Amino acid sequence: MSKVLLFIAVLLGIWWMRRVMSDHGGAARSHEAEQPPKALGETVRPCAHCGVHVPESEGVIDAGGFYCSDAHRRLGPRA
């Protein structure tokens, strides 16, 4: 009889823990939904010579425009 009661107590404990965990997770999910969307990363621009899109931090800016590499900056915009 005591083994049956112990088994029922363990099952109730597991049920209670899952219930507490799922309620806590639900509160976290609803909090995430209230937050505004995160800002996107940096701007991606096309190379003036070849047209390949490159993040601004990796490209080269010159008076003639934005380029994917220094070699394309030297070649200039596509004619």
List the chain domain ranges.
1-38, 44-75
pLDDT at site 42:
87
Residue 13 above 90 pLDDT?
yes
pLDDT at site 30:
57
- The tens digit of pLDDT for each residue in 18-67 reads 988 887 655 555 555 666 666 678 899 999 999 999 999 999 998 879 99
Ramachandran class of 76: left when φ > 0, alpha when ψ lies in -120 to 50, beta otherwise: left
pLDDT at site 21:
84
- Looking only at the bridges linking them, the beta strands covering 60-62 and 44-46 are unpaired
Q: State the distance between the two ends of the chain, measured CA to CA, in whole angstroms.
A: 91
Cross-strand partners of 61: 66
Q: Are 21 and 14 within 8 A, CB to CB?
A: no
SS (H, E, C) 29-52: HHHHHHCCCCCCCCCEEECCCCCC
- Its pTM surpasses 0.75: no
pLDDT at site 41:
83
